Chain A
């Protein structure tokens, strides 16, 4: 493997919950400025993978390094410094329901003490505008927004502190096709133009093709295929073909329990 500088480098990552093995020796690299999309079936451990990288879950074994710094087992101070480079869009939004929208977006800016409240509010407005929300929603609480609007607020919050690496956990699920495309464009703008590295997770192949430079497929706890987005249709792997064409029959058997 070439010694291209990697933003994120994961080796032999393992994570089980009780007897259930979720990640089983996973290797993955993400280059600087790259937009990597991880695809895979429901429940294959995509969210678990992100949470291990973010330090929200402790892996059972393996190594994760960010900008060449090992983060598994790092001290909490080192962890804080690394988390400062991150922005995360949670699958369920995870907006703070006790705070108005603008404070949600400005939370990271206020937490690091970088900005005063007034400046943070202005910055939050700018990020909200970037995701297509007007100033009229700034004072509302998350519970008063539609699901799609919540997603956009969560996106604004993830990018508010201008992170170096952004993690998107299913950015387009639950949105109408047009809104989904708006979000895709936004992600492309953030990653391609601002040079931010992005690790995204999705089942939505249209979205994956649009936002990715590279695609990796997670299956049974391992990355079974990774390559440039242009090669996805000629991967030569039946499991990848089955997934991208959404066929029920093929080597991947969905466990359906009555």
Chain B
């Protein structure tokens, strides 16, 4: 193929995929607000995302907070600005690292398992079987996952924010010799409602992205075990890229005024 043709082909394919994802998202979200609702299925997803992701997200958060304190201390000491450590930790965690890292971890954990579960149901015709048993698979399988992603990720990020800031505190106080009271004072002075809220909004969007990619790739997978494997990979990779992409877009919306 000639280069122009190739580029044109890739661009068209990309646009077509974006169109399909947007239609899928619209259909899925539509089913979130129209009965019947499957509360059992929703409950399972809420627990799966909100509760079972806690260890992964918590561990990520504590090490991130610790490393932030350490890095910003060694960096800022060159300008004798060590006092800014608390500030840097709080702002970076709440605005940026809390939601992004939680989003990426959940993409690996939840996005992959959604794609694998729904993909397996697709290739073994269980999705078709649902339709023949008077059950809309979009309602039973997709809608609860979208709702759970949208609502549970902000909760996870609140926890991640707290643990991350605490991690920074541990390193600052026990390793770098900060005065605990002063450090805490610095932390609370730096804490801004705007930062936290923007982080939580980001978290909601990232949660939706993870669920959407997991469901979409699972739902559209084909061709047996290999197809399910590809769906899983695609779900994780596409959510990771979209998370980073939307992170920039949302930051631009919130803070560039």
Contact = CB atoms under 8 A, between A and B. Distances in A.
Contacts of A51: 128
Contacts of B126: 94-97
A188 to B, nearest CB: 22
B220 interface: no
A86 interface: yes
A86 B132 contact: yes
A54 interface: yes
A157 B125 CA distance: 14
B131 interface: yes
A107 B134 CA distance: 9
A97 B124 CA distance: 10
Contacts of B131: 54-56, 83
A58 interface: no
A56 B134 contact: no
B135 interface: yes
B16 interface: no
A56 B128 contact: yes
A219 interface: no
Interface in B129-168: 129, 131-136
B134 A84 contact: yes
A102 to B, nearest CB: 14
A96 B131 CA distance: 13
Contact of B128 (A84, A90, A95, A108): A90
A221 B200 CA distance: 56
Contacts of B132: 54, 56, 83, 86-88
A94 B134 contact: no
A111 B134 contact: yes
A228 interface: no
Contacts of A84: 134
A112 interface: yes
A147 interface: no
Contact of B133 (A55, A56, A92, A108): A108
A107 B124 contact: no
A68 to B, nearest CB: 21
Contact of B134 (A80, A95, A97): A80
A161 to B, nearest CB: 8
Of B36, B124, B134, chain A has the most CB atoms within 10 Å of the CB of B134
A28 to B, nearest CB: 19
A92 B128 contact: no
A97 B130 CA distance: 13
Nearest to A81: B134
A108 B129 CA distance: 10
Contact of B129 (A55, A90, A112, A161): A90
B134 A92 contact: no
A95 B132 CA distance: 12
A55 B125 CA distance: 14
B128 A111 contact: no
A96 B129 contact: yes
A193 to B, nearest CB: 23
Contacts of A95: 126, 129
Interface of A: 51, 54-56, 80, 83-84, 86-88, 90-92, 94-97, 107-108, 111-113, 157, 161
Given A95-B129, A97-B124, A161-B133, 17 more contacts: A54-B132, A80-B134, A83-B134, A84-B134, A87-B132, A88-B132, A90-B129, A91-B125, A94-B126, A94-B128, A96-B126, A96-B129, A107-B133, A108-B134, A111-B133, A112-B134, A157-B133
13 contacts: A54-B128, A56-B131, A83-B134, A86-B132, A87-B132, A90-B129, A94-B129, A96-B121, A96-B126, A107-B133, A107-B135, A108-B133, A111-B133
